[in-house]
Amino acid sequence: MSYFKIIDKGDGITRLFLGGIHGKEGLSTVGALQEIGDEDVTSGKLVIHNCDESPYVSTLNHDYYQSKVGKEVLYLINHYQPKIYVEAHCYKNENYLKLTSPQRWTESKVPPLIELESGVLIGSASPLIRTSIFAKDDVCITLEMPCKPTKKSLDVYIKVLRNIAASGSRDELEKHMIDLYPNQVETAKKYAKEFFGNYPPF
């Protein structure tokens, strides 16, 4: 399940993709992350790491970042200092409504995730690290797919990862995402303004 790769194309920003950061999610995310190749990055650096299986603790819980894998996540962020950060997750089908429901505002104190298409969801990384470790203009994304994805879901998931890998700046990534999912980006901006104030959408 563990997987690590660095794609280095010289000058440019650093991106960090982390998969399997809790529970058994890495069994599902590793295949998608392995699909990202050298040809998907035109400049800068992309660091890809899929973690080994670990006890499931939510990244919305402070205790997560005291766990072995949580400390590993913090180390990788601090070591590589990415300008674009992606957590690659998966979810059980029965949790779809919980993740996307407006009730997530009150139950988990964070915005709902937004469906792009075919059950692939997007949102911000945990606010516990978004506002304490990253700069305002950094991009911090949570990307989710079903843990047993259909071929369409997996294809969409990989497509989004490739678009992020190919983006050399926040503005470039935002343009790519607006071209693909204009309504979802507008919703993300709305949620971000409500939750993070002056922080950008992702």
Tens digit of each residue's pLDDT (9 = 90 or more) over 83-101: 999 999 999 999 999 999 9
Q: Let me know if residue 69 belongs to a domain.
A: yes
Q: What is the pLDDT of residue 24?
A: 96
The rounded distance, in Å, linking the Cα atoms of 51 and 19 is: 6
Contact 49, 4 (CB under 8 A): yes
Q: Give pTM, 2 decimals.
A: 0.95
Q: Let me know if residue 202 belongs to a domain.
A: no
Q: Let me know if residue 87 belongs to a domain.
A: yes
Does position 60 have pLDDT exceeding 80, yes or no? yes
Q: What is the pLDDT of residue 195?
A: 86
Better-scored residue on pLDDT, 89 or 189:
89
The rounded distance, in Å, linking the Cα atoms of 24 and 27 is: 6
Q: Let me know if residue 201 belongs to a domain.
A: no
How many domains are contained in the chain? 1
Amino acid residing at 38: D
Contact 100, 113 (CB under 8 A): yes
Q: Let me know if residue 16 belongs to a domain.
A: yes
pLDDT grade for 197, boundaries at 50, 70 and 90: confident
E strands present in 55-94: 84-91
Q: What is the pLDDT of residue 193?
A: 86
Give the residue numbers spanning the domain of 167. Answer: 3-196
Contact 37, 10 (CB under 8 A): no
Q: Let me know if residue 9 belongs to a domain.
A: yes
DSSP secondary structure, 137-171, as one string: TSEEEEEEEESS--HHHHHHHHHHHHHHHH--SHH
Q: pLDDT digit string (tens) for 102-155? A: 999 999 999 999 999 999 999 999 999 998 999 989 999 999 999 999 999 999
